[in-house]
């Protein structure tokens, strides 16, 4: 739904320059730390896309040399993997391992096509949000490797480098600087964009779904006083209020207004950096400021590797994940192939020497995984529509309450 599929291509120009500059020691191979398993006669089939295939090849080569097993890499269009995996695994076809996104997880678990993975020995190397993203009913179902999120992007010529702590601070700084527009926020025009607004919503304590130690539940969490407070803030800043948030702003218009120097701030993802700086605007990336008093927690998307529930070589597949892909070298190769925020902590620290990447990493540390439960698919239309109505001037409380009631009825 976001323009995420292209990854962080805009950061490649800076991020890849860092790739050869690391002094971080390489992770020992299994043969240096313990005996590798004997996988002679075993062939693991791994589904990947074009971007990540070269990165996996190095780990596959090491696995083959040390275990006697074979890795068959099958290149697929990323957009096809989820459906093909869900359809083929129950028939005994499909791969042993596939790359995939974390928000597929709920439907994959319900379809019975994935198995839990055990990262006991390496879990501490990964960003906690990446592990949370792949956790369902208290079980971890994938090896994470990358993150993506949105953050506050500011025009430093207008408002400097300092991160505003609150929405009001940002508006004041931009107004004092004489910005034509203090901030632009994509609403996808008349469609609505609850994804982009989510950091502000969570700062009111109104998460889309309630979560507990086992992950997200199906209980809607954005009702009650907290949800109403967010809705009223949205209305106050909408077209009949202060006018900072408007349904005239779609993705491209948002980027053009910021790139032309008319707006002091925007909320965008790394995929937009190239467009935002196309006309030479100098930027700083910071976490999203709070509007409601709590930490603004944007959605975080995570990608990683799942194991098929029907794999005839599940133990070998687990070995490939935990001993050959859960290493600094393999994670770095994946980053170089497709430069998204690394889930591997040391690598994320390394690439954060680039201040743009550092800003998105900081934002991701405040963030929460987009819910991986199947019910999430039912939320977007009602949620987006309610926000558009409120921005255009509908009564915030009653509009929001109706959305909550309709959503609860829809998901049962």
| Contacts for 83 with CB less than 8 Å, ≥ 6 apart | none
User: CB 280: neighbour CB atoms within 10 A?
Assistant: 8
Rounded-to-integer distance, Cα 399 and Cα 407, Å: 12
Judge whether 297 and 366 are in contact, CB under 8 Å: yes
Q: In percent, how much of the chain has pLDDT > 70?
A: 91
Given this model, what pLDDT does residue 9 score? 38
pLDDT for residue 67 is more than 80: yes
| pLDDT band per the 50, 70, 90 thresholds, residue 359 | very high
Judge whether 249 and 186 are in contact, CB under 8 Å: yes
- pLDDT tens digits for 134-177? 999 999 999 999 999 999 999 999 999 999 999 999 999 999 99
Q: Is residue 143 classed as helix, strand or coil in its secondary structure?
A: strand
Given this model, what pLDDT does residue 39 score? 76
Residues 232-247, mean pLDDT to the nearest whole number:
97
Rounded-to-integer distance, Cα 365 and Cα 150, Å: 11
Rounded-to-integer distance, Cα 184 and Cα 160, Å: 17
pLDDT for residue 19 is more than 60: no
Residues 206-232, mean pLDDT to the nearest whole number:
95
| pLDDT band per the 50, 70, 90 thresholds, residue 15 | very low
Could you please report the per-residue DSSP string of 221-278? -S-HHHHHHHHHHHHHTSTTTT-SS-TT--HHHHHHHHHTT-EEEEEE-GGGHHHHTT
User: CB 14: neighbour CB atoms within 10 A?
Assistant: 17
Q: In percent, how much of the chain has pLDDT > 90?
A: 86
pLDDT for residue 32 is more than 70: no
Mean pLDDT over the full length of the chain: 91
Rounded-to-integer distance, Cα 321 and Cα 49, Å: 17
- pLDDT tens digits for 115-140? 999 998 899 999 999 999 999 999 99
Rounded-to-integer distance, Cα 95 and Cα 307, Å: 8
Given this model, what pLDDT does residue 35 score? 58
User: CB 293: neighbour CB atoms within 10 A?
Assistant: 10
pLDDT for residue 355 is more than 60: yes
Residues 306-323, mean pLDDT to the nearest whole number:
95
Q: Which is it for strands 114-115 and 263-268: parallel, antiparallel or unpaired? A: unpaired
Largest CA distance in the chain: 70
Q: Which long-range contacts (CB under 8 A, 24 or more apart) does 223-227 make?
A: 223/400, 223/401, 223/404, 226/292, 227/400, 227/404
pLDDT for residue 13 is more than 70: no
- pLDDT tens digits for 377-412? 999 999 999 999 999 999 999 999 999 999 999 998
Given this model, what pLDDT does residue 36 score? 60
Report how far apart, in Å, the C-alpha atoms of 79 and of each of 6, 21, 44, 348 are: 12, 33, 22, 26
Given this model, what pLDDT does residue 213 score? 86
Q: What's this model's pTM, rounded to 2 decimal places?
A: 0.87
pLDDT for residue 12 is more than 80: no
| Contacts for 152 with CB less than 8 Å, ≥ 6 apart | 163, 164, 170, 265, 266, 267, 285, 286, 287, 288, 289, 363
């Amino acid at each position: 739904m976001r323009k995420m599929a292209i990854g962080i291509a805009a950061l490649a120009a800076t991020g890849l320059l860092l790739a050869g500059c690391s002094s971080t020691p390489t992770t020992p191979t299994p043969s240096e730390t313990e005996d590798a398993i004997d996988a002679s006669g075993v062939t693991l089939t791994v589904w990947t896309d074009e971007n990540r295939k070269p990165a996996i090849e190095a780990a596959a080569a090491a696995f083959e040399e040390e275990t006697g097993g074979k890795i068959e890499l099958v290149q697929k269009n990323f957009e096809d993997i989820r459906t093909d995996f869900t359809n083929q695994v129950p028939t005994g076809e499909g791969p042993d391992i596939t790359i995939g996104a974390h928000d597929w997880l709920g439907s994959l678990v319900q379809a019975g096509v994935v198995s839990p993975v055990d990262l006991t020995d390496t879990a501490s190397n990964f960003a906690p949000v990446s592990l949370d993203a792949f956790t369902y009913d208290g079980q971890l179902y994938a090896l994470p490797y990358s993150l993506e999120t949105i953050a506050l992007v500011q025009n430093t010529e207008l408002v400097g480098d300092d991160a505003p702590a609150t929405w009001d601070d940002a508006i004041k700084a931009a107004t004092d600087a004489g910005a034509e527009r203090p901030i632009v926020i994509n609403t996808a025009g008349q469609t609505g964009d609850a994804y982009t607004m989510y950091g502000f919503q969570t700062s009111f304590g109104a998460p889309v779904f309630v979560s507990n130690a086992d992950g997200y539940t199906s209980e809607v969490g954005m009702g009650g006083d907290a949800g109403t407070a967010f809705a009223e803030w949205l209305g106050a800043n909408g077209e009949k209020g202060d006018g900072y948030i408007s349904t005239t702003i779609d993705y491209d218009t948002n980027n053009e207004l910021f790139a032309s120097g008319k707006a002091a701030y925007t909320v965008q993802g790394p995929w937009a950096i190239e467009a935002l700086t196309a006309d030479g605007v100098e930027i700083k990336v910071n976490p999203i400021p709070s509007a409601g008093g709590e930490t603004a927690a944007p959605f975080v998307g995570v990608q990683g590797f799942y194991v098929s529930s029907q794999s005839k070589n599940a133990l070998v597949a687990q070995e490939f994940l935990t001993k050959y892909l859960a290493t600094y070298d393999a994670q770095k190769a994946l980053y170089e192939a497709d430069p998204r925020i690394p889930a591997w902590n040391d690598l994320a620290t390394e690439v954060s020497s680039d201040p743009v990447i550092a800003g998105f990493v900081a934002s991701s540390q405040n963030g929460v995984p987009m819910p991986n439960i199947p019910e999430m698919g039912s939320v977007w239309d009602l949620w987006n529509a309610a926000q558009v109505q409120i921005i255009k001037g509908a009564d915030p409380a009653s509009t929001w309450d109706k959305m909550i009631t309709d959503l609860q009825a829809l998901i049962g």
